Structure 1
Amino acid sequence: MVQNVVSIRRNGLNHFVFTVIAIFFLSNNDFCQAQVRIACVGNSITYGARIENREVNSYPAQLGSMLGDGYDVQNFGVSGTTLLRKGDFPYWKTDAYQKAMDFRPDWVFIKLGTNDTKPVNRVFLDEYVQDYKDLVASFKKLPSNPRVVLLLPVPVFSNDSTGITAQIVREKLLPMVREVAYDTGSEIVNLYNLLIESPELFPDKVHPSAAGATIMARRVGEVVRMKSVGPVDFSSYLPEDASTFNFYGFQGHDFTFKDHNAKIVEPKNVAVGKPWVWRSRYWGHEPQVEIALLERGFHVVYCDVFESFLNKEGLLIWDGFYQLLTKAGLSNKSVMEGMSRGGGYIYRWAAFHPGRVSAVYADAPLLDFKLYFKGSNSSFPQKWELFKKNFGFKSDEEALAFKGNPMDLTETIAKAGFPMLHVVGDADEVVPVSEHTALFEQKIKAAGGSIQVIHKPGVNHHPHSLANPQPIVDFILQATK
């Protein structure tokens, strides 16, 4: 009996000690779970040069604050450094490079190249791609097997060609970084367009301010926090002669679908829900929205139905393409994107298949094909004849009585419930806002639909989109949850 009592007391004490130890470990993340190590590699922009109190306000420091205790973010930036081995101050030869390697990071964010545009360094730019590939390889070989992310250089707002040069950044560096991302399979983040409309955030026209660093940190933080799922396997759905191509650092597939050119571009990491955006016309024109969505895990697709104006034949071809994409694993709903007369295509699709649309982004959209009959553009007469032919109209009167224009389908479109965003130039002379988006907006709202319009004062039909596509991207992310 005494032994039993002693045993019970002993067991009770052990249980108490175990409970205390468990609570201690659970309350200390350092003991129960290692921090995620993030290495920020770069030049003075990463270092935080010219930013007051850079220890707190550089982009890596702000990133660490945003991510919190579960992350160890280290700044390995060195002012003046080049990516080029033959540059005047190669990052390769710095102590910071070796320290970044010894850090055994889980993530590596590289932002190098701005100093490589100086005249003394640009003579070696032909070696930039290979040097960058070697740098990426050196990090990918680490035992920690880090995710390597290439940050496109931020814009330069100086026109001085005797030092860091804006034109070289824009025309040389951006394509080369995207080439490296494609060839090495590395992730990529477009900081360039994110800041291109914010010269006020670059006091010396080269280095971002603390506020500019905040924008950089937020975007990098989004990458770290993004949840993803496994890739979509299109291999059994593509023809044997399908080819691959580099779409701004992302892998694309180019193939023929029912005698029409089709393309699918894959993100590096697929977002939860497997969302996608469907470009209706003008593949590759002003692609900044697609690039931003690819970074965020969207697929981008295209099927060119020529000048069908999405007649019955065009609808059937798109239906088949939709079946291919969804059977492969993409979401049952897509974001429809249409520029100019591509806007007419996406709204006709949405009217016939409202349950397949999550949102619409229309850019200077043509919403009434009768424009071709009454417009003054030199190409309109030919388009009007083609429109009549594709729909089987035998006279102008018959075509003018057509009730399948998006402008005629606003009640059906509004009842579908998906949100819409239009981006228009207020000085558009090709597709006048007053005759298209303004009237369409009025009808949609009267029918209870949800539509937003971004106006670009003084802008004609071109350029489409926004240099910084963030407002469009935010709309799409919100619409697709």
Structure 2
Amino acid sequence: MMKLRFLPLWCLLGCLELTAAPPEADRIVVLGDSITASGQYLEYLETILMVQTAKRYEFLNLGLSSETVSGLSEPGHAAGKFPRPGLHERLQRVLDKTKPDLVLACYGMNDGIYFPLKQTRFDRFTTGIEQLRSKAKAAAADVIHLTPPVFDPLPIKDKVMPAGLNAYPRPFEGYNRVLDRYSEWLVGRRSAGWKVIDVHGPMNAALAEQRKANAEFTFATDGVHPTKEGHWIISQAILDAWDVKHDWVLEDLVEPQGRLAALYKLVGDRQKVLKSAWLEACGHKRPGVAKGLPLEEAKTKAEEISKSLVALLESSGGFTKKEEVGKPAMEEKAGTTAKPGLFPGTRSVWQGYDRYDFDWQGITATIVAPKEAAAGKPWVWHGEFFGHKPDPDAALLGKGFHIVFLKMNDTLGCPATVKTWTEFYQHLTKQYRFSKKPALVGLSRGGLYCYNWAIANPGKVSCIYADAPVCDFKSWPGGKGEGPGDPRNWALVLKLWNFKDEAEALAYKGNPVDALAPLAKNKVPLLHVFGDADEVVPAEENTLLLAERYRKLGGTIELIAKAGGKHHPHGLQDSAPIVNFIARHAK
């Protein structure tokens, strides 16, 4: 994982026109499009503020996917299902109901509707921003603007269109230059006393720097929505503007270990509960947004999470020293004898359970142990992204399951990986008497790991839970269908499978969608959770195709579709269906 901590010096200089201190506000309402709605940069921001300052903010994320401040929408948006919602349809209700002290607003990405720069569209953007300011000021709220993140045509180079056309059913390849102009205008308004934090500039600079080492690097695999590294850049631009200094790096929050990661998870849980409820309470015109809890119920749930946050913040040791995070939990407290390890390696605490990280044949293996193993020692085996959306794992640990991960990044479930998995399976079942039928969990590309191993070992699997899984490498990373693909990982496929050329890879019949018969014969139950608008791993080419073929073979598969859902976020707000599925089928 890349480490992103410092921003370019010119970014810091660009922030000097702001008051270099955190805001005095108590309640901060955040408005924006799907980039804001995803919540990551706000979760990073609040977590760092919580450990680096004494101030406790109330962040309300009211970002709405597809939204513009300009009121514009391109023809055929969302395949013609609905036009983009405009902020001003709901803005007054948001201000009246939330009563913010500060509005943090990030618009621009959708406002040029992915067309070349045009004065009338630019004027609609500037007018919309000015109206936002006017309404917020009338509601006695201060306003801070964020410039839009970057648009990156590289990962979708086969999907963009050149300049000079009359229509743009797909994005204009030079759209980032449009965002350059929108950002320049916003930054220029500082001279009129506006508070503007430049996000666009730092992301452009960081992208250029990363491309010096890796020409295929991107902050947005679909050209628009930032990766976690991109969201980290956004959060750091805000923290720098507010002169909040820290030594944390992205891994300290997203790697599932240590007390800062636990704090980050609680912050995210609280923001998500409140976001859905407030969106519902304020109302909007965007179809496909999952309904939140009733507002009072959400506030009660958020208050319970807040109590856990306070307890964690007040726990001994604090969060002032980075080296404390992830420290092995070898002793209960000073002066006591360490508990004997159930497994080799370094012991730490994850989600309140003992976690062991150890070397196995040169590969990092991770096992999280329950307080007491259930009969038969059931276990969950992750293909990739262990620790992402950990609620199901935490619940299953409480039911006596072990959680297992073998870190084989960038191998995509290739034949060599399948062989290594089989050897590790034999080690766990013989050395530690784990169940001979683990439950497999495959998120995104992790689907290739799980399905390829299961197809090779159909009698050794209790069930498969897959979330927006890759089921055909021609779809991702190949990008031979509707998705953008990933050139770097497609090159890895050709290398790892020893294909002589792309034609041989495209003719390959060993992808999960093509090789389901062994699983159906062994009656392996499947559960897929997916977004029906997944732009990275299209459901029609993966989950839905696999489901159709599996059912024709007599197999059983449960589908949970998230209406309007993209590739991210994974999981479900209520993970009970996932937990119950695995617990029901575990052997």
TM range (shorter): 0.5 to 0.7
2:374 is matched with: 271
Q: Would you say 1:337 and 2:441 are equivalent positions?
A: yes
1:433 is matched with: 539
CA distance in 1, matches of 2:482, 2:99: 43
C-alpha displacement of 1:311: 2.4
C-alpha displacement of 1:269: 2.0
Please, which of 499, 504, 507 is the counterpart of residue 393 of structure 1?
499
C-alpha displacement of 1:382: 1.7
1:458 is matched with: 564
Quickly say closer, same or farther: Cα 1:413–1:159, change in 2 above 3 A.
farther
| Equivalent residues of 2:463, 2:582 under 8 A apart | yes
1:259 is matched with: 362
1:346 is matched with: 450
Quickly say closer, same or farther: Cα 1:193–1:413, change in 2 above 3 A.
farther
SS where residue 316 of structure 1 aligns?
Answer: helix
For residues 333-381 of structure 1, give each alpha carbon's deviation from its aligned partner in whole angstroms, at most 9, with x where no partner exists: 1000001111111011111111110010000011111123325766622
| Equivalent residues of 1:254, 1:262 under 8 A apart | yes
CA distance in 2, matches of 1:323, 1:480: 18
| Equivalent residues of 1:234, 1:328 under 8 A apart | no
Quickly say closer, same or farther: Cα 1:179–1:160, change in 2 above 3 A.
farther
C-alpha displacement of 1:309: 2.4
C-alpha displacement of 1:441: 0.4
Greater Rg by CA:
1
1:362 is matched with: 466
CA distance in 2, matches of 1:269, 1:328: 14
| Equivalent residues of 1:350, 1:356 under 8 A apart | yes
Alignment of 1:171-190 (within 5 A): none
CA distance in 2, matches of 1:276, 1:342: 17
Whichever residue aligns with residue 270 of structure 1, its letter is A
CA distance in 1, matches of 2:340, 2:513: 36
Aligned residues: 282
CA distance in 2, matches of 1:421, 1:346: 13
Given the two structures, how large is their TM-score scaled by the length of structure 1?
Answer: 0.53
Quickly say closer, same or farther: Cα 1:194–1:396, change in 2 above 3 A.
closer
2:579 is matched with: 473
Quickly say closer, same or farther: Cα 1:319–1:234, change in 2 above 3 A.
farther
SS where residue 271 of structure 1 aligns?
Answer: coil
SS where residue 460 of structure 1 aligns?
Answer: coil
For residues 377-423 of structure 1, give each alpha carbon's deviation from its aligned partner in whole angstroms, at most 9, with x where no partner exists: 66622211111111111111111121210011111221121210000
2:425 is matched with: 322
Whichever residue aligns with residue 243 of structure 1, its letter is T
Q: Would you say 1:296 and 2:396 are equivalent positions?
A: no
For residues 213-245 of structure 1, give each alpha carbon's deviation from its aligned partner in whole angstroms, at most 9, with x where no partner exists: xxxxxxxxxxxxxxxxxxxx995863xxx1122
Q: Would you say 1:384 and 2:490 are equivalent positions?
A: yes
SS where residue 320 of structure 1 aligns?
Answer: helix
For residues 89-129 of structure 1, give each alpha carbon's deviation from its aligned partner in whole angstroms, at most 9, with x where no partner exists: xxxxxxxxxxxxxxxxxxxxxxxxxxxxxx9xx9699xxxx
For residues 143-175 of structure 1, give each alpha carbon's deviation from its aligned partner in whole angstroms, at most 9, with x where no partner exists: xxxxxxxxxxxxxxx97999xxxxxxxxxxxxx
CA distance in 2, matches of 1:320, 1:160: 59
Task: Give the aligned CA root-mean-square deviation in angstroms.
Answer: 3.6
Alignment of 1:59-70 (within 5 A): none
1:247 is matched with: 350
CA distance in 2, matches of 1:335, 1:357: 6
C-alpha displacement of 1:286: 1.4
CA distance in 2, matches of 1:159, 1:248: 33
Whichever residue aligns with residue 467 of structure 2, its letter is D
C-alpha displacement of 1:442: 0.6
| Equivalent residues of 1:343, 1:366 under 8 A apart | yes
Given the two structures, how large is their TM-score scaled by the length of structure 2?
Answer: 0.44
CA distance in 2, matches of 1:334, 1:467: 25
Quickly say closer, same or farther: Cα 1:123–1:401, change in 2 above 3 A.
closer
| Equivalent residues of 1:193, 1:468 under 8 A apart | no
CA distance in 2, matches of 1:255, 1:160: 51
CA distance in 1, matches of 2:98, 2:576: 26
2:529 is matched with: 423
The range that moved more, 277-286 or 311-320, is 311-320
| Equivalent residues of 1:265, 1:300 under 8 A apart | yes
SS where residue 282 of structure 1 aligns?
Answer: coil
Unaligned runs of 5+ in 1: 1-118, 126-157, 163-177, 183-190, 213-232
Percent identity between matched residues is 38
C-alpha displacement of 1:206: 3.9
SS where residue 270 of structure 1 aligns?
Answer: coil
CA distance in 2, matches of 1:193, 1:282: 22
